[in-house]
Chains A and B, each alone.
Chain A
Amino acid sequence: EIVLTQSPATLSLSPGERATLSCRASQSVSTYVAWYQQKPGRGPRLLIYDASNRATGIPARFSGSGSGTDFTLTISSLEPEDFALYYCQQRNTWPPTFGGGTKVEIK
């Protein structure tokens, strides 16, 4: 199965700063990568699908890019509610798999 490696494990930033999260696949997954946000005690929330498409209701400060094996989630200016866990997921090859996550914490 395809392994997704997310980096860094933890990102310490201040509100208003730019966050750049990376997701690398063990083999090409085309553009079939999604990004999710998760907060404590809640299920994940879909942010981005097919590498660069924002899901319904997701603010424009969230953007995604990449193809093949390297993908990036960018939060242009961190809001207080953006400090959370972020996961990438691929659906190109069955079974769908998830990355290990990046925690964005307040510096």
Chain B
Amino acid sequence: EVHLVESGGGLVQPGGSLRLSCAVSGFTFNTYWMHWVRHAPGKRLEWVSRMNVDGSNTAYADSVKGRFTISRDNANNTLYLHMDSLRADDTAVYYCAREASYSYYDLDYWGQGTLVTVSS
């Protein structure tokens, strides 16, 4: 059974940093593109970032480009999101998700999410 479990969320001050992790199981991690998506209170789901199978290709939403870095450890079946220069509007539940093998940007499995709160 496919499982994705996010961790690393919490309360951080504006300007601070945080690293989120997503531990996966139940599928061959190194054959799937992976994504981060977030959901801020009262706002729409927002796609954040994407990484290909070996980490050589990444993409970011304009709202996080230059501040967030996606990475992966295929040996340990883990996806990461390193977040720097955090702002209040980064407050959200962050989900990791697996890209479906049959279509780009369709996300067929998601984790339960981890809450990031940026506040002083």
A residues lining the B interface (CB < 8 Å)? 34, 36, 41-46, 49-50, 55-56, 87, 89, 91, 94-101
Identify which of residues 61-120 in chain B touch chain A, using a CB-to-CB cut-off of 8 Å.
61-62, 95, 97, 100, 102-113
SS class of chain A's interface: helix, strand, loop or mixed?
loop
| Contact status B95-A100, CB under 8 Å | no
Chain B contacts for A36, CB-based, 8 A: 107
CA distance A34 to B95 in the complex (A): 17
B residues lining the A interface (CB < 8 Å)? 4, 44-47, 59, 61-62, 95, 97, 100, 102-113
| Contact status A45-B110, CB under 8 Å | yes
Can you name 7 A-B pairs with beta carbons within 8 Å? A34-B106, A42-B112, A49-B102, A50-B106, A95-B47, A98-B44, A98-B47
Chain B contacts for A100, CB-based, 8 A: 44
| Contact status B45-A43, CB under 8 Å | no
